[in-house]
Amino acid sequence: MSWNPTSANGLYPLPDDCVLSLTGPDALSFLQGQTTANFVDLIYPARVCGVFCDVKGRVLADFLAVVIDPEKVLLRVSSDLCNWLVSHLGKYLQFSRASLALTDYSVSGVLKQNSQASGRPPEEAEQTPYGWLLHKSRQTAELLVTNSKAFEQQASDVNAEKGDGLPWGEAMIREAEVRIRAITSGKYLPQDLNYDLAGWVAFDKGCYTGQEIIARLHWRGKPKRRLYRGSISEQPLLGSAVSLGSEGPSRGSVVAIVPADNGALILVEATEEVLEGTLCIGASGELLREFHACAE
């Protein structure tokens, strides 16, 4: 039985995301050489998470992909990075039999009903009459909407708070998922954002852009920074510095923010030192509350 929008607890349009289409005989080999993810030996359709990095191993953009077949891939990326990404990757695509283009598809976040959340997702990539449902966890999925007319007819009465994305944002904070936006692009290693712990980095694949630095840290060192979750009484700016005490040097930065009743829920990439003292954010010196590691 195909998935229907009315079976969701909530549907949340994600206007900050867009969908790119990569097509051609070299689509998968291109992604294999340009991303941290493994695109070999997939069973189609497949859901794949990963990131594009620069030569220094810094994350340029994250993606959620559905590999429809060996010659067609849809990539969900941040809207404020999509045009830049098409241009950036175009320099490498000129040597491949593949092309990358922006689609008019939209993206919605899906919070599953408790009955759906109780078991393992039926498939990681599920084709529906509305598009591709990409299961992320037992509680969440994303829908790449390829048939907007059919989707809107079914989704209009799913929840009265349609357009209010706070429940979706709170779920992403709980699941410690950091999205790369233009302001944070090129600033972090995958390990800083726990992408390696989430399985977004394949350490058993061949070379890709940034692989040498990322792999060296994994096999020969220990990440200096990891992801932490907390709350704050005032909403900070994305990228705001986190310090030990109002006068202390920076020990990390804010990488995800969701407004809450009494301020904001946030994710922070930081050194282990932040667990040892009072934490402040930005010039305002607001104190972090309920602060703990996302992976313990």
- Domain match, 183 and 289 both: no
What's the pLDDT score for residue 244? 83
Helix or strand run (H / E) with residue 142: strand 140-145
- For residue 1, is it within any domain? no
- Domain match, 243 and 97 both: no
- For residue 170, is it within any domain? yes
- Domain match, 183 and 263 both: no
Specify the number of domains making up the chain: 2
What is the distance between the alpha carbons of residues 111 and 141, in angstroms, rounded to a whole number?
7
- Domain match, 214 and 238 both: no
| Helix, strand, coil percent values for the chain (each to nearest 5) | 20, 35, 40
Give the tens place of pLDDT for each residue, 20-71.
Answer: 999 999 999 999 999 999 999 999 999 999 999 999 999 999 999 999 999 9
Query: 10-residue block means of pLDDT along the chain (296 residues)?
Result: 72 95 98 97 96 98 98 98 97 94 96 62 81 92 93 67 74 96 97 97 93 92 91 90 82 93 90 82 75 82
Domain boundary among 223, 256, 285: 223
- Domain match, 129 and 144 both: yes
- For residue 182, is it within any domain? yes
What's the pLDDT score for residue 160? 41
Structural domain span for residue 190: 8-223
Task: Name the DSSP letter for residue 191.
Answer: G
What's the pLDDT score for residue 286? 73
Torsional sign, CA 44, 106, 192, 86:
positive
DSSP secondary structure of 229-283: EEEESS---TT-EEEESTTSPEEEEEEEEEEETTEEEEEEEEEGGGGGS-EEETT
Its pTM stands at 0.92
- Domain match, 193 and 276 both: no
| Angle CA 198–48–76, to nearest 5 | 105
What's the pLDDT score for residue 161? 45
- Domain match, 213 and 238 both: no
- For residue 97, is it within any domain? yes
Domain boundary among 201, 223, 245: 223
Domain boundary among 223, 250, 274: 223
CATH code at position 259: 2.40.30.110
- For residue 79, is it within any domain? yes
- Domain match, 120 and 172 both: yes
